[in-house]
Amino acid sequence: MSVCIRVVLLFFSLLCVSAFHPFSFSEDPTSFIKANERIQYLRAIRSRRFRITSLELLDNGLGGGTGTGVDTKKNLCSDEDEDPEYEPFYDSLIRFSVTNDYSGDIYIRKVSYRLRNSDGYGRTHRATKLPPLSGKVVPASSTGNEILAYFMEIQGDDKVFIGSDFTLPDDLGFQKVRFVLRGRNHRGERIVARIRTTLSFDNFDRCS
């Protein structure tokens, strides 16, 4: 057997060993712990025992109706009087409906979302650490539980992402948004639930 073939076989053997045994006893034990946490994280993603069954956009205040349209600009309805009259303009909220099939409570720690085309030119916006406003504890073996979270907030006459000064284009149009709920179950395991929806971002006329 030639030297070249032996080298190739040895290299292939090393690759196989590294694939099945990524950690050695001489390595820092924290690397093994992090890898184990990653495995638990991936398992939680695949679990269907905690899931989002639906979501609603609240863009007209808590007492207003639900829909799919995010109003991006506050319009002036009338300037005939001494005091100008503006259309109703509120922070945008998301209300999730979730099911918990676990035998213990689930504790929601944060809400995140991703909007790929946030500026109309392909820019992706991610919000990853938004605390839920309500519904932080989801009871065991229950369905129809509501979790409320911020989506966008008012800044002057515009609508911006929470914790950001990036102003949405007035006529961004229909865009897909992915929402993620993250927390832990009663055993301390990571829990992740995802849902995708399509929302319309536009300068709606709500003066009437």
* Number of other CB atoms surrounding residue 95 within 10 Å: 19
Segments forming the whole domain that contains residue 179? 49-202
Amino acid at 1: M
Q: What is the rounded distance in angstroms from the CA atom of residue 182 to the CA atom of residue 169?
A: 29
Could you give the number of structural domains in the chain?
A: 1
Indicate the range of 39-53, 84-98, 138-152 predicted with least confidence: 39-53
Average pLDDT, the chain: 83
- Is 137 part of any domain? yes
- Look at the alpha carbons of 111, 117, 121, 124 in this order and tell me if their dihedral is positive or negative: positive
Q: Give the Å distances, CA to CA, from 1 to 4, 6, 10, 205.
A: 8, 7, 13, 80
Q: Look at residue 135 in the predicted model and tell me its pLDDT.
A: 96
When computed from its CA atoms, the radius of gyration of the chain, rounded to whole angstroms, is 24
Contacts 24+ apart (CB under 8 A), 144-148: 144/53, 144/97, 144/99, 145/97, 145/98, 145/99, 145/100, 146/95, 146/96, 146/97, 146/98, 147/95, 147/96, 147/98, 147/108, 147/111, 147/181, 148/93, 148/94, 148/95, 148/96
**Ramachandran bin of 112, using left for φ above 0, alpha for ψ from -120 to 50, beta for the remaining angles:** beta
Comparing CA positions, the residue from 183, 201, 200 lying closest to residue 192 is 183
**Ramachandran bin of 75, using left for φ above 0, alpha for ψ from -120 to 50, beta for the remaining angles:** beta
- Is 41 part of any domain? no
Q: What is the rounded distance in angstroms from the CA atom of residue 19 to the CA atom of residue 29?
A: 18
Q: What is the DSSP string of 148-165?
A: EEEEEEEETTEEEETT--
- Is 12 part of any domain? no
Comparing CA positions, the residue from 104, 97, 96 lying closest to residue 189 is 104
- Is 34 part of any domain? no
Q: Look at residue 19 in the predicted model and tell me its pLDDT.
A: 47
Over the stretch 82-135, which tens digit does the pLDDT of each residue have?
788 899 999 999 999 999 999 999 999 999 999 998 888 888 999 888 999 999
Question: CATH code at 159?
Answer: 2.60.40
Q: Look at residue 166 in the predicted model and tell me its pLDDT.
A: 77
- Is 179 part of any domain? yes
- Is 159 part of any domain? yes
The predicted model scores a pTM of 0.75
Examine the pLDDT at 199 and tell me if it is beyond 90.
yes
Q: Look at residue 79 in the predicted model and tell me its pLDDT.
A: 77
- Is 121 part of any domain? yes
Q: Look at residue 120 in the predicted model and tell me its pLDDT.
A: 87
Residue whose pair of structure tokens reads 């932080």 in the numeric block: 136
Average pLDDT over residues 181-208: 93
- Is 19 part of any domain? no
Over the stretch 23-34, which tens digit does the pLDDT of each residue have?
444 455 556 555
Phi, psi of 54 (to 5 degrees): -165, 165
